Amino acid sequence: MINIVLDVEDIRKDFPILNRIINGKKLIYFDNTATSQKPIQVINAIRDFYMNNNANIHRGLHTLSQEASEMYEEAHDVVARFIGAMGREELIFIRNASEALNLAAMILSDEVKPGDEIVVTIMEHHSNLLPWIFLARKNNAKIKIINIKSDYTLDYDALEKAINDKTKIVAITHMSNVLGTINDVKMISKIAHNYNAYVVVDGAQSVPHIPVNVRDLDIDFLAFSGHKMLGPTGIGALYCREDILNKANPFLLGGDMIKSVSCKITGECNIIWNDLPWKYEAGTPNIAGGIGFAEAVRYLARLGMENVKKHEEELLSYALKRINEELSDVMDTYGPSDPSRKGGIISFNIKDYDPHTVAMHLDSEGIAIRSGFHCAQPLHEHLGLMDGSARASFYIYNTKEEIDVFIEVLKKLVEGD
């Protein structure tokens, strides 16, 4: 079986962990929605930085500090370009998508007045739900939750009806981490902007897997994590429109985020914020992480995000076809049936087995998947899945042969072998 869009054999050589033997079997890593594996190029970029360039940034005139500063700044440019931002001014490096969404809520906190409305969807990850619930409670605003239809796509009619003059924020996931559903963010943004509402997009699953361009989507915020897109943990990004960042106050205060602070002995102080994005990056940042993140983005850009999407679509079509043909009596899957409208994610349950048992069985055969609520408990409750679901998710290094093994192991489980 040949994967036509990506040279997967070649790609796999870059990922040392794929040689791991787990429980006597060659690792099959299908937990990419939780985090991706890392190519040698990213591992080396971090190692090389610590071996050759390590110093604090923006603080020293010495050569190493200059080098580290330039590498860290350039990393912002690389990631900014990848998502179509104007430049580093619009891209804040932060720990992960969760922290980025919390920062978005902080930035917008003064904009939300009593009686205002914040629109979210039932398919949100907790990271794009809790900050908005909390903000609404604090400011006496209202949360509106948009439902999904029976085909697991968003109810766009309900969304259109829900957005009105009171809407201040529409916070929506670009790709559901459970259903894989890809939401039409461009269209949603158009509706929201007609009412001058801010559009915050959770790109934790979309940015690693499909082409994303903030200008084309015309969105105000985009949050994503480096670790889900071949980069290291502890580094992610918040894209935000420059005019919003200029207007808002930073959340974290401290070193490197001001141009100057002067205080008189009377207690009168004057602060001038630093240029963007440093105004929002107080303290010593994750310098090596940022450099590793940029290397991950270079890797994905070399492959081409259209190709990444196509490859996953192909894997998804293949897996769904085999499931429908061979396991449909005992296996329920949740998500749109059209592979072009969803990411490479299959959430499922096997009749008479709880999802954790399924995951443990697969692990005993070297296959890593996730089980539980996947930080989307309201969605699972809404679907009546009180034990959660099992989830297999694909990335650039996965193959149809791995899907074959996955299907065979599931078949053996239900056959009681």
Q: What count of Cα atoms within 13 Å lies in the side-chain half-sphere of residue 28? A: 24
Query: Is the four-CA dihedral 153, 154, 156, 161 of positive or negative sign?
Result: positive
State in angstroms the smallest separation of the CB of 121 from ligand PLP: 11
State in angstroms the smallest separation of the CB of 265 from ligand PLP: 44
User: Tokens in use for 308?
Assistant: 């990444």
**Residue 69 vs 102, nearer CB to ligand PLP:** 102
Question: Does residue 375 have an active-site annotation?
Answer: yes
Mapped onto helix, strand or coil, the DSSP state of residue 170 is: strand
**Residue 225 vs 371, nearer CB to ligand PLP:** 225
Mapped onto helix, strand or coil, the DSSP state of residue 175 is: strand
Q: Calculate the CA 7 to chain-centre distance.
A: 24
Q: Which residues bind ligand PLP (CB under 6 A)?
A: 33, 96-98, 125, 127-128, 173, 177, 202, 204-205, 225, 375
Rounded Cα distance, 126 and 374, in Å? 9
Rounded Cα distance, 165 and 64, in Å? 53
**Residue 3 vs 37, nearer CB to ligand PLP:** 37
**Residue 106 vs 330, nearer CB to ligand PLP:** 106
State in angstroms the smallest separation of the CB of 123 from ligand PLP: 9
Which are the contacts of 231, defined by CB distance < 8 A and separation ≥ 6?
A: 38, 42, 289, 292, 293, 295, 296, 297
**Residue 96 vs 347, nearer CB to ligand PLP:** 96
State in angstroms the smallest separation of the CB of 182 from ligand PLP: 12
Q: Please check whether residue 337 is in contact with residue 151, taking contact to mean a CB–CB distance below 8 angstroms.
A: yes
User: Annotated catalytic residue: which of 240, 263, 269, 375?
Assistant: 375
Mapped onto helix, strand or coil, the DSSP state of residue 261 is: strand
Phi and psi at residue 400, to the nearest 5°? -65, -30
**Residue 287: is it exposed, middle or buried by C-beta count within 10 angstroms (0-12/13-18/19+)?**
buried
**Residue 202 vs 314, nearer CB to ligand PLP:** 202
Q: Find out whether the peptide bond into 250 is cis, omega within 30 degrees of 0.
A: no
Q: Please check whether residue 328 is in contact with residue 320, taking contact to mean a CB–CB distance below 8 angstroms.
A: no
State in angstroms the smallest separation of the CB of 100 from ligand PLP: 8
State in angstroms the smallest separation of the CB of 247 from ligand PLP: 26
Q: Calculate the CA 285 to chain-centre distance.
A: 20
Catalytic residues: 375
